[in-house]
Amino acid sequence: MANHASSKKRIRRNARRAEINGARRSRMRTFIKKVELALTAGDAKAADEAFKAAQPEIDRSVAKGILHKNTAARKLSRLSSRISALKKA
């Protein structure tokens, strides 16, 4: 158990931040899952709309420090290429 006031405060702060970050991560994953579901259903239009909604969420996750920018770029690139392949097929 922490003894210093500053370390006790840090524990409280970390718990709050973990809760907030978890909610943000969950929200981002939900948006990605909507794109994935549209892709597996083969609905290119719905996938494109879901992707347009997911893109700012993923970018916001980078800004808030939830994701590394290269991780976000990779996720966006892979989703985008899958949507493009679905449109061509």
Tokens for 47? Answer: 């996938």
Q: What is the residue whose two structure tokens read 């996720």?
A: 75
DSSP state of 29: H
Q: Which domains does the chain have, with CATH numbers?
A: 5-88 (1.20.58.110)
3-state secondary structure of 42: coil
pTM higher than 0.95 = no
> How does 70-82 read in b/e, with b if 16+ C-beta sit within 10 Å?
eebeebbeebeeb
Instruction: Convert the pLDDT of each residue in 16-69 to its tens digit.
Output: 999 999 999 999 999 999 999 999 999 999 999 999 999 999 999 999 999 999
